[in-house]
Structure formats: structure tokens, C-alpha cells
Amino acid sequence: MSNQDTKVNNQGTQPLIEVRGLKQYFQINTGFFRSIPLKAVDDISFSIREGETLGLVGESGCGKTTAGRSILHLYKPTAGEVIYRGKPIVTPADIAEFRTKATMVFQDPYSSLDPRMTVADIIGEPLDVHHMYSSQEERREKILELMDHVGLNSEHAARYAHEFSGGQRQRVGIARALAVDPDFIVCDEPVSALDVSIQAQVINMFEELQDKMGLTYLFIAHDLLVVRHISDRIAVMYLGRMVELADAQEIYERPLHPYSKALISAVPVPDPKTARANQRIALTGEIPSPLHAPSGCPFRTRCPYAQPVCAESMPAFKEVEKGHFVACHRTEEIN
């Protein structure tokens, strides 16, 4: 049995985070006091068990980052519920309490750190905001402990962000996210801005921290190899909608949605023989604008299996096999 299998079996059945019918619309001004909604996230639902990593993948602009930020209420959701340990996050007091247990690691380590603050002050800022120490000495000890967790030396504490490499800056961002001793972390493409050699180090560190601290991750990325390595389950988004959700191994070996099939077929394979045997699924057509999304299924304009029914109604996101959810009218016919 693999380490990942063991990890999944050891997880509890009670969801840590539940997302129900989450919508995030932004009003876009079209002139003459008129506006139309940009449906960045359009009615998605899922849950994440304690200790689990849920990977969220899709093309740029599909709504992955917006979904993560809306869950943390960095954007106020247009509709839907976010439930933490069985309690809906509704009031400002709920949000303030939730933010002591849920944090975010941002994509760009170059722009997410204040260049005027030392590393110690960047990592200590959440401690200051939430009053999580009783003396300056306790604050300093916590900061040094967090730095040690992410592989930074105590001598780095007095330095500024511009003095570090991209990988080290991202470690500072991760230490800042850990400062409030969270249960849940939204990782928003945390390795996409890093060199490939550094990516593996940071991914391994995420896994070590999860084992050591019992963390739960929503891991947002467009690199499917990275997501497969770290995730227990994978959710696929397209144009603000969730189109498939299943165990990581299941979605790689047997994707059921046409969009998931195309994504998986594009993943590079290191073995030349296997790569030649794999049939690449090339999608035709342009990605529709979320301002003017197609009627019915959002993927129908690029789907090789599209039928008139696909334009008439949005397919339900339903469980077609145990733990495998798909939003497609023709799942049974094409698989």
C-alpha cells in the first residue's frame, strides 16, 4: 500500500470544509450605467475531509483562484455557503474566527511579501493581528520556530524579502500562513513561479508539514503532474463550473468528462514509448468569455461529443460512481 493510500485511509469521514452552491459574480461596467455579471465561480459544491489534499485544476481564467479566495471570504461570495466543522461562516465574527484556522499561500512570492518589512515582521504579522502572544520574547520564539519549520535560519529574520531567492521567499509566505496554527490552507499555485528544481523541494515541504501538523489543503494548480503527486482527490473546473471530481488515481486512469480527458492527454510522459502510444486529444475552438458563457454546458462549444441537449440545459453535477462526480449529459454514452 502506498503512503498516499495510507493517508487516505487514516482520514476522518467528517468534512473539515464544505462548500455548497458557491457563486462569485463580479459586475462589469458596460457603459451608460449598465453592467453585466462576470460569473467567475458559478454554483460549485464540494467538501474536503480533515487531513486531505484536494487538488483544483483547470485552464487559466477558469475560476480556481477566485474559488479559493471566496472560500476564505477574501471576496464576499455572491451566493452559497462555506461550512467549517459543521458551522456556516456567515457573520463578521464567524469570518474573523475562521481566519485563525484557515489561511492562504499566494502564487507570487515576489509580490505577496511587503518589501519594507523584515522577514520576522512578515511572519509575525498574523500573530500581531490576532494577538497570539503575551510578550515580545514569546513572539520572537514563535517566529523562529515557524522559520525552522520551513527550513529558514534564524539569521534570516532581520533580512528583507528582496534579499532572498524565489524559493526562499515562498518559504517565508508559507511560514506566514502557518503563524496562526491553521487547520486549513488554500495553496494558490504556490510553486508555479518557481524553478522546477525548487518546486520539488517546496512540494515535499508541504507534504512534511501536513504529516507533522495535520493540515488540510485546497491545492490550486494548472500543473497536473504536481497536482497528481500531492493530491488525494482532484477537482476539475471549466469556465467557473466544476465538471469532474474523483480520487487522484481514478481521474488520471479513467477520466469521464471530455474536458478532463483532454487535460490528462496533454500531461507529458517521461517514457518515449508510452508517450507515442498515448493519443493526444486536441480541443478546437476558442475558450468562451465568462461574460458571454454559452447556454447549457459551458464546454459544449469545444466538446467533440456535443449534441443539441448540451445547449438546452446545464448538466447536473452528479455522482456516477462511488466518489466520482461528473457534470455531463452524455457520460454513459462516451465512456
- pLDDT value at residue 274: 63
Long-range CB contact pairs, 85-90, < 8 A, 24+: 85/14, 85/16, 86/14
Distance in angstroms (rounded) separating the CA atoms of residues 65 and 187:
9
Which residues have CB under 8 Å from 27's CB, separation 6+? Answer: 35, 36, 37, 38
Q: Supply the pLDDT for residue 265.
A: 85
- Residue among 170, 186, 183, 150 nearest 55 (CA): 186
Tell me the sheet residues that pair with 105: 187
292, β-bridge pairs: none
Domains and CATH numbers, the chain: 3-101+182-334 (3.40.50.300)
Phi, psi of 232 (to 5 degrees): -90, -45
For residue 239, give every residue at least 6 positions away whose Cβ sits within 8 Å of its Cβ, in sequence order, or none: 42, 62, 63, 287, 288, 290, 293, 298, 299
- The pLDDT value recorded for residue 65 is 94
- H helix intervals, the chain: 3-9, 64-71, 92-98, 119-129, 136-149, 166-178, 196-213, 224-230, 248-253, 258-265, 272-277, 308-312, 331-334
Q: Supply the pLDDT for residue 111.
A: 87
pLDDT < 70 regions, the chain: 1-13, 270-271, 273-277
pLDDT in tens, 236-278: 999 999 999 999 999 998 999 999 999 988 877 766 766 666 7
pLDDT in tens, 10-20: 444 679 999 99
For residue 244, the cross-strand partners are 236, 326
